[in-house]
Structure 1
Amino acid sequence: MTNSNLSKLHTFRGDEKATFTVVDGPTNINIEDANKSFLLVLDSSFNPPHFGHYTLIEKALEHYTKNDSTSVHVLLLLSINNADKNEKPATFDKRLDMMCLLSKHLTVNFPHIHPTVAISKSAKFVEKSNGIRDGLFTTGKIVYLLGFDTITRVFDPKYYVPQTVSEAMGEFMNHTDFFCLTRGSDDANDSDFDAQAQYASDISAGKYEPVIPSSWGAKISIVENRNKYNSVSSSALRKLLFNGEYKQASKDIPAEIIDYITSDDKAAGLSIFA
């Protein structure tokens, strides 16, 4: 698997005109009714993929498949030019391998879902959507899946200077929604979750004007999540994996991904999270 994804990554990087490419899964999603079609996009560093990612997709699928007439698809997206994060410790080809394994894990549990795994050179949501629209999902609603800590960064003005947030994202928000899960910690209380759940309503009430237009509140769905994966830390998992504490890490990472990591570590003689 690695050699294949490494080759695709190399080809993509070498193509100056390419900004988005599919690595695995459907390369074109046929839409019958744009008003009832949703593409759930989990755009993450996947460093490594874990049950926090899985839970976010699971909850989003539950949310958007309540109506039997809707058509729901899933995209796992890795941005190789992320505004905040670099390639270390796991290289992008290794992450793509693990994303493909997460995709298979999803298919086992949701047989009607056949996720697409893709990579993008774009760092901002607006630019990522342009790549997604160019062939993969030309029409229908794009929904980005986020943890609460990420949704607040999406609307941070520093990422859009010299434009304002509304100038940079206005057209994008006309065709995009956000689905967000609350995040917690071992000592989180009801008020912590309540404050997160209130975020979209606060936007609608104008609390964040003029930075965030009040009309955008209706574009954000925030669902409370208190399962055991609501505070999974990628950095903590990387530390466990670096130290070879696979059993401890396996509590938060699907078995097939742990197997991939341990097998690769043994073959290389060095952890991919070193």
Structure 2
Amino acid sequence: MHMATSTIYDLMAKDPSKALSNSRLLLLLSVNNADKAPKPAAFDKRLAMMWAFAWDFQRAMRQEQRRVDGTGPTSGVSIDVDLGLCTLPYFHAKSAAIAESTFYSGKYGEKHDEGKDNTETMEQIFLVGYDTLIRIFNPKYYGPVETIAQLTTVGQSPMQKALGPFFARSRLRVTMRTDDEWGGMEEQIAYVEDLMKEDGLLQKVGGARDWVNRIDMVEGLKAGTDVISSTYARAAAKYQDANKLDLMVTPEVRWWIEHESLYQE
């Protein structure tokens, strides 16, 4: 929720009218995950929880706007939320599918202009956690590159072929995770700075330094607050820890989890 709402407000701060008229939030569920097996909740229930989250997101946006400007109960920011399903496990493939979709090309739902590439006007912003950033730059997802010298003979590396088009049309908005597993804010910022070095991590694994210009690092929850984790949420549901579940999920999502007795096994 913080990742989604903070993104919209940052866009509004840059250009309020354009942010509201041209932005949509896409909640995208991939039925094939690159690393994780499906968790014990049927896909129809997961879609229902996505719908519930969309409702909570829109309500949170309206409430925050009323708090800021003191407007009435029916006013506030309205952003359309889309629910999506795909079978693609990797971000660069998901991004390509979105860009090629007629729904997101040019004006939403309108047909392509013949001979015109409408996708150039649409920028995708992927909202990810710091742990996901680490995976995106893991070369195992793109194919082996043994040495930098090898790149001079083969041209683009497998990672460059995959992520070059991705970063041409997309940005990564990375929310830092300041917990024991991923270290503190300084360590996470240092990781990104290392990506930028001439002989840094990106070039060692076959990437391109200029991709870093398409990465925005933003602060997540304050240090000392509860870590938000789907693993913790499922555990809270399993042991029926209502207080913990309240910290992990939004109200409508909690209703679905409890009403459907999800994650009890």
TM-score by length of 1: 0.71
Sort the Cα spacing of 1:230 and 1:174 in 2 relative to 1 into closer, same or farther, 3 A.
farther
Contact 1:240 1:248 in 2 (8 A): yes
Contact 1:107 1:113 in 2 (8 A): yes
Q: Deviations over 1:141-200 (max 9, x none)?
A: 111111101111011001111563112221222111100011022x699x8201212433
Q: Does 1:147 align with 2:113?
A: no
* Structure 1 residue 100 displacement after superposition: 0.4
Q: Does 1:194 align with 2:141?
A: no
Q: Does 1:86 align with 2:63?
A: no
Structure number with greater CO (CA < 8 Å, separation at least 6) is 1
Contact 1:90 1:272 in 2 (8 A): yes
Gaps of 5+ in 2: 62-76, 106-118, 145-156
| Alignment partner, residue 254 of structure 1 | 250
Q: Deviations over 1:213-236 (max 9, x none)?
A: 111110100012233767212112
1:236 to 232, 236, 241: 232
| Alignment partner, residue 181 of structure 1 | 175
Following TM superposition, where does structure 1 have runs of at least 4 consecutive aligned residues deviating by more than 4 angstroms? none
> Share of identical aligned residues, percent?
26
The amino acid across from 1:105 in the alignment is: D
| Alignment partner, residue 222 of structure 1 | 217
Q: Where is the strand percentage greater, Structure 1 or Structure 2?
A: 1
* Structure 1 residue 272 displacement after superposition: 4.0
Tell me the distance in 2 between the aligned counterparts of 1:168 and 1:151. Answer: 15
Instruction: Find the residue that maps to 1:65 and give its secondary structure.
Output: helix
Sort the Cα spacing of 1:230 and 1:65 in 2 relative to 1 into closer, same or farther, 3 A.
farther
| Alignment partner, residue 120 of structure 1 | 86
Q: Deviations over 1:21-77 (max 9, x none)?
A: xxxxxxxxxxxxxxxxxxxxxxxxxxxxxxxxx111122222222222343221000
Contact 1:146 1:179 in 2 (8 A): yes
How many residue pairs get aligned? The number is 214
Larger Rg: 2
Tell me the distance in 1 between the aligned counterparts of 2:59 and 2:213. Answer: 33
Instruction: Find the residue that maps to 2:260 and give its secondary structure.
Output: helix
* Structure 1 residue 273 displacement after superposition: 4.4
Q: Where is the helix percentage greater, Structure 1 or Structure 2?
A: 2
Sort the Cα spacing of 1:210 and 1:166 in 2 relative to 1 into closer, same or farther, 3 A.
farther
Sort the Cα spacing of 1:229 and 1:121 in 2 relative to 1 into closer, same or farther, 3 A.
farther
Tell me the distance in 1 between the aligned counterparts of 2:242 and 2:103. Answer: 36
Sort the Cα spacing of 1:188 and 1:166 in 2 relative to 1 into closer, same or farther, 3 A.
closer
Q: Does 1:263 align with 2:259?
A: yes
Q: Does 1:62 align with 2:9?
A: yes
Tell me the distance in 1 between the aligned counterparts of 2:135 and 2:93. Answer: 16
| Alignment partner, residue 47 of structure 2 | 96
* Structure 1 residue 115 displacement after superposition: 0.8
The amino acid across from 1:183 in the alignment is: R
TM-score by length of 2: 0.74
Tell me the distance in 2 between the aligned counterparts of 1:124 and 1:141. Answer: 18
